[in-house]
């Protein structure tokens, strides 16, 4: 028997292929870019703007149709030399508190132009020195300025962490969608103030705040001028980056690139500011984006309303950048066409002084990212399970199609599998075969096949998958027991693990934006493994089953639910439900967009009926094992479907607590 000390003997490739997924994403992005429809005239551009704006709203999760009461309050004031700072709070959604600082100039012609200052991924949020500098500089020049904390930052850390944004697409929401709605409500608040001219509002921010600036101005025409800083780029050059989930909008690359989104702002004034030495949002990507956006402005006869300002600096919003921003807003919001605008001496609060905080203690009744997720998950469950079991059974083939297309992003056209046996080993009475095949043109799957050396003819097969990879399989007791009973064992490294391991975080982010989720890609790898296995003459095609553990259990569950060639499935220590009131302790790669609009894990398990299914120690969202009573409650719908099909004996739920 191959021992745990022998994983290298089970290597299939000569060396790890860790660049495979990055190259795969780059290829898909390139194809999407070349296939995307282009506008060719000003009238086509206007139609393009309407279409993309609608698609963008949908991709963001749809923005609320109802504007609830802001319930805005001023909780304190700070007197400064040139302006007053009000500590303001409003509710963008019921109990989702948005904390902000409103800078009101002491000397201005009211109602004055206003600027919404949104921040990037800075811990101190509205209190960050560069945010304060923007606000103080603008207020000194006669602008009313509102700086707000983004959800998960500054005072709003009590509402969750930005990393939790990866859960939201599973219920049809997005982190950027939450942020944009907060910013739209911030515009509502500005327009409610008597000091503000509602027809002269601009927005600016840097990095992630630059992206917020872009999306807000693209979707809300109340923004009359926009200055996104160190954020303009093109997607295809950054597919291997580690950006925030707020910058990952599901399927966006199927209908738009960043320059297309920026073009939605045309013909309103747009200034892009970028650093020549920026290594995150590089100047090359900014120049590429600008050249495409400029063409849209030229088509609308508004070429003077778009510009790129380059600063010999890094990823920043420094004084030179701010002075270019002042000039732009002065020109388009005040009608002052000046050639320079020197920044005054600024009066800033220390980052850690908390003097700009609205609350001493953040309200305990606040809504949170996980709370919004759970609230939506419950609504979707009520809708899904409003059908009877009979009605659900009647439409399950349609459900499979919806899951493939609307959740996993579709499966590519199947190409030749091109399987090759690279080596045959004889180890402790085992026949071990090393195989590689192509799941897609640029995705290779390493496979280990093992059986008794003396076995001939056809054998039943168990496909074993684990997030630990194939090399751990033959050392497991239950695998050896299966081989001793005459089963052939097949084990794979699906894309991104084992010999092709890749960052789960980056894989999740990139796959979200291209519209083919990494979980669906891995399900497709299992489907292609079934293609390979059923092509072998030594396989008993009527007896193919699958064993999987942990997060690989979800890969196997989808594959078995969608492909009836899997005659039996055993899952060990696998998540039991995507419904959770308090978040998850799982990899970001297991939350495909919109899944809870169509099915939760118990309903996926029901798609396997009446075939065999065994669930061993299912886990809750915090990775704790369920008791039997808890498991029976979670999988109640699965049990009902098996009962309806007179197949109760084929469903087993086993727990050890």
Average pLDDT score over the chain: 94
The pLDDT of residue 240 is above 60: no
Domain boundaries, the chain: 50-367, 385-654
Residue 551 has pLDDT above 50, yes or no: yes
19-23: long-range pairs with CB below 8 Å, 24+: 20/442, 20/443, 20/444, 20/495, 20/500, 20/502, 21/495, 21/496, 21/500, 21/502, 21/507, 22/239, 22/240, 22/502, 22/506, 23/442
Band of the pLDDT at 14, cuts 50, 70, 90? very high
Residue 85 bridge partners (DSSP): 78, 103
Interval 259-273 mean pLDDT:
97
The residues, any chain, with a CB within 8 Å of residue 125's CB and separated by 6 or more, are: 119, 131, 149, 150, 153, 154, 155, 156
Kindly tell me the number of DSSP H helices and DSSP E strands found in the chain.
19, 18
- Sign, CA torsion 267/273/279/285: positive
How far apart, in Å, do the first and last CA atoms of the chain sit? 32
> What does R_g of the chain's alpha carbons equal in angstroms?
28
Q: How does pLDDT run across 21-71, given as a tens digit for each residue?
A: 999 999 999 999 998 888 999 999 999 999 999 999 999 998 998 999 999
Mean pLDDT for 209-235 is: 95
The whole-number pLDDT of residue 352 equals 65
Q: Which residue has the higher pLDDT, 145 or 248?
A: 145
Q: Is-contact 108 145, C-beta < 8 A?
A: no
How far apart are alpha carbons 237 and 288 in whole angstroms? 10
Q: Is the pLDDT of residue 106 over 80?
A: yes
> Starting from the edge strand earliest in sequence, which strands make up the sheet with 651-654, in order?
420-427, 430-440, 443-452, 488-492, 459-465, 539-549, 568-572, 612-616, 651-654
User: Is residue 2 predicted with pLDDT exceeding 50?
Assistant: no
Could you tell me which of 559, 48, 43 has the C-alpha nearest to residue 262?
A: 48
Residue 142 has pLDDT above 70, yes or no: yes
Q: CA dist 566 to 410, 504, 533, 547, Å? A: 20, 27, 11, 10
CA 519 to CA 507: how far, in whole Å? Answer: 10
C-alpha dihedral (352, 358, 363, 366), degrees to nearest 10: -100
Please determine, looking at this structure, whether the domain spanning 385-654 carries the CATH number 3.40.50.1820: yes
Cα angle 508-471-527, degrees, rounded to a multiple of 5: 55
pLDDT at 244 over 50: yes
Q: Return the beta strands (E) in 380-534 as ranges.
A: 420-427, 430-440, 443-452, 459-465, 488-492
Q: Which residues contact 292 (CB under 8 A, 6 or more apart)?
A: 234, 257, 259, 260, 263
The confidence score (pLDDT) of residue 349 equals 86
**Do the beta carbons of residue 29 and residue 253 sit within 8 Å?**
yes
Q: How far is it, in rounded angstroms, from Cα 290 to Cα 296?
A: 10
pLDDT of amino acid 471:
87
Question: Token pair for residue 528?
Answer: 């292609």
Confidence of residue 237 (pLDDT cuts 50, 70, 90): low
User: Which of 522, 524, 568 is CA-nearest to residue 544?
Assistant: 568
Q: Comparing 50 with 353, which gets the higher pLDDT?
A: 50
Measure the CA–CA gap between 555 and 494, rounded to whole angstroms: 9
What's the rounded Cα separation, in Å, for the pair 223 and 104?
A: 19
pLDDT digits (tens, 9 = 90+) for 623-640: 999 999 999 999 999 999
Is the pLDDT at 3 greater than 50, yes or no? Answer: no
Interhelix angle for 504-514 vs 20-35, to 10°? 10
Fold of the CATH domain 50-367: Rossmann fold (3.40.50)
Residue 202 in contact with residue 186, Cβ under 8 Å?
no
**pLDDT tens digits, 314-325:** 999 999 999 999
Please give the pLDDT value at position 281. 87
Task: Extract the tokens encoding 219.
Answer: 């979707």
Instruction: Compute the average pLDDT of residues 99-126.
Output: 95
Q: Does residue 1 register a pLDDT over 50?
A: no
User: What predicted TM-score, i.e. pTM, was given to this entire model?
Assistant: 0.94
Distance CA 630, CA 613 (A): 18
Burial readout 117-156 (b: 16 or more C-beta within 10 A, e: otherwise): bbbbbbebbbbbebbbbbbbbbbbbbbbbbbbbbbbbbbb
């Amino acid at each position: 028997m191959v021992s745990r000390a022998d994983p290298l003997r089970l290597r299939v490739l000569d060396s790890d292929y860790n660049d495979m997924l990055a190259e795969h994403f780059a290829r898909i992005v390139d194809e999407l870019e070349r296939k995307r429809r282009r506008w060719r005239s000003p009238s086509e551009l206007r139609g393009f703007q309407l279409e993309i704006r609608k698609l963008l709203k949908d991709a963001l999760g749809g923005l609320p149709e109802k504007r609830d009461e802001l319930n805005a309050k001023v909780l304190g004031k700070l007197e400064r030399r040139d302006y007053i700072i009000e500590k303001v709070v409003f509710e963008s959604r019921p109990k989702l508190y948005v904390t902000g600082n409103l800078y009101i100039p002491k000397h201005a012609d009211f109602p004055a132009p206003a600027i919404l200052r949104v921040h990037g991924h800075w811990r101190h949020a509205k209190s960050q020195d560069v945010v304060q500098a923007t606000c103080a500089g603008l207020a000194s020049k006669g602008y009313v300025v509102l700086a707000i904390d983004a959800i998960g930052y500054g005072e709003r850390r009590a509402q969750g962490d930005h990393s939790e944004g990866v859960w939201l697409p599973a219920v049809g929401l997005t982190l950027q969608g939450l942020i944009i709605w907060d910013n739209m409500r911030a515009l509502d608040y500005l327009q409610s103030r008597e000091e503000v001219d509602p027809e002269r509002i601009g927005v600016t921010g840097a990095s992630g705040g630059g992206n917020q600036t872009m999306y807000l101005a693209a979707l809300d025409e109340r923004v009359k001028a926009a200055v996104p800083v160190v954020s303009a780029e093109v997607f295809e050059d950054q597919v291997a980056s580690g950006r925030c989930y707020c910058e990952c909008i599901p399927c966006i690359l199927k209908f738009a690139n960043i320059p297309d989104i920026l073009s939605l702002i045309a013909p309103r004034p747009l200034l892009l500011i970028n650093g020549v030495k920026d290594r995150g949002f590089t100047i090359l990507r900014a120049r590429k984006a600008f050249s495409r956006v400029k063409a849209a402005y030229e088509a609308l006869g508004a070429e003077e309303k778009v510009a790129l300002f380059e600063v010999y600096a890094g990823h920043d919003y420094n004084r030179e950048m701010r002075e270019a921003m002042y000039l732009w807003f002065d020109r388009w919001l005040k009608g002052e066409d000046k050639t320079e605008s020197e920044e005054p001496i600024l009066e800033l609060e220390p980052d850690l002084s908390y003097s700009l905080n609205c609350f001493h203690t953040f309200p305990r009744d606040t809504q949170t990212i996980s709370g919004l997720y759970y609230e939506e998950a419950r609504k979707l469950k009520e809708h899904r399970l409003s059908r009877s079991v009979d009605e659900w059974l009647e439409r399950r083939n349609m459900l499979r199609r919806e899951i493939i297309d609307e959740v996993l992003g579709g499966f590519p056209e199947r190409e030749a599998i091109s399987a090759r046996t690279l080596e045959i080993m004889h180890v402790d009475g085992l026949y071990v075969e090393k195989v590689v095949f192509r799941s897609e043109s640029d995705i290779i799957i390493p496979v280990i096949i093992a059986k008794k050396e003396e076995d001939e003819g056809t054998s039943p097969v168990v496909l074993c998958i684990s997030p630990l990879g194939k090399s751990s399989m033959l050392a497991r007791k239950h695998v050896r027991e299966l081989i001793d009973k005459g089963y052939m064992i097949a084990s794979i490294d699906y894309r991104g693990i084992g010999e092709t391991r890749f960052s789960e975080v980056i894989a999740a982010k990139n796959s979200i934006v291209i519209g083919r989720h990494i979980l669906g890609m891995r399900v497709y790898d299992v489907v292609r493994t079934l293609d390979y296995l059923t092509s072998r003459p030594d396989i008993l095609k009527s007896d193919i089953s699958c064993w999987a553990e942990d997060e690989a259990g979800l890969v196997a569950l989808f594959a078995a639910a969608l492909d009836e060639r899997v005659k039996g499935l055993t899952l060990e220590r696998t998540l039991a439900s995507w419904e959770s009131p308090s978040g998850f302790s799982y990899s970001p790669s297991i939350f495909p967009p919109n899944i809870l609009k169509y099915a939760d894990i118990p309903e996926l398990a029901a798609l396997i009926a009446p075939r065999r299914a065994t669930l061993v120690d299912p886990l809750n969202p915090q990775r704790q094992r369920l008791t039997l009573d808890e498991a029976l409650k979670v999988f109640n719908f699965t049990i009902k479907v098996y009962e309806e099909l007179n197949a109760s004996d084929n469903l087993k739920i086993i727990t050890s607590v």
